[in-house]
Amino acid sequence: MPGITREEVAHLARLARLELSAEELDHFAGQLDDIIGAVARVSDVAAQDVPPTSHPLPLTNVMRPDEVRRGLTPEQALSGAPAQEQQRFKVPQILGEE
């Protein structure tokens, strides 16, 4: 299988709007060639009876059931605020507007 050429890396860089030096083109060509080789080896090993997976071990999300709970009162929510005004957190003004 022919390797990734420097010109192909330069083309990809142009498509991605990246400016790469000559050294970077050579470096990335080698890296991309190694990556494609690794993917090809995995494809060779994969058998028809093995289903594709996203993870080698089975994963299960552990979630608690949704339960309606009482929220904080405005007084409780604002109890630790350094400043408050009209039942809201008061923060320093950052935009020169009123």
Distance of CA 78 to CAs 69, 71, 85, 91, Å?
19, 13, 10, 12
Q: Report yes or no on 62 lying in a domain.
A: no
pLDDT of residue 70: 93
Q: Report yes or no on 40 lying in a domain.
A: yes
Q: Report yes or no on 79 lying in a domain.
A: no
Strands 88-89 and 84-85: antiparallel
Number of structural domains the chain divides into:
1
Q: Report yes or no on 32 lying in a domain.
A: yes
Q: Report yes or no on 58 lying in a domain.
A: no
Q: Which residues 6+ apart lie within 8 Å of 72 measured at CB?
A: none
Q: Report yes or no on 70 lying in a domain.
A: no
Question: CA-CA distance, 23 to 6, in Å (whole number)?
Answer: 10
Q: Report yes or no on 3 lying in a domain.
A: no
Question: CA-CA distance, 90 to 78, in Å (whole number)?
Answer: 10
Question: What tokens does 71 get?
Answer: 């929220």
- Render pLDDT for 17-63 as a digit per residue (tens, 0 to 9): 999 999 999 999 999 989 988 888 877 776 777 777 788 788 888 89
| pTM of the predicted structure, to 2 decimals | 0.44
Cα dihedral 37, 43, 44, 46 in deg (nearest 10): 150
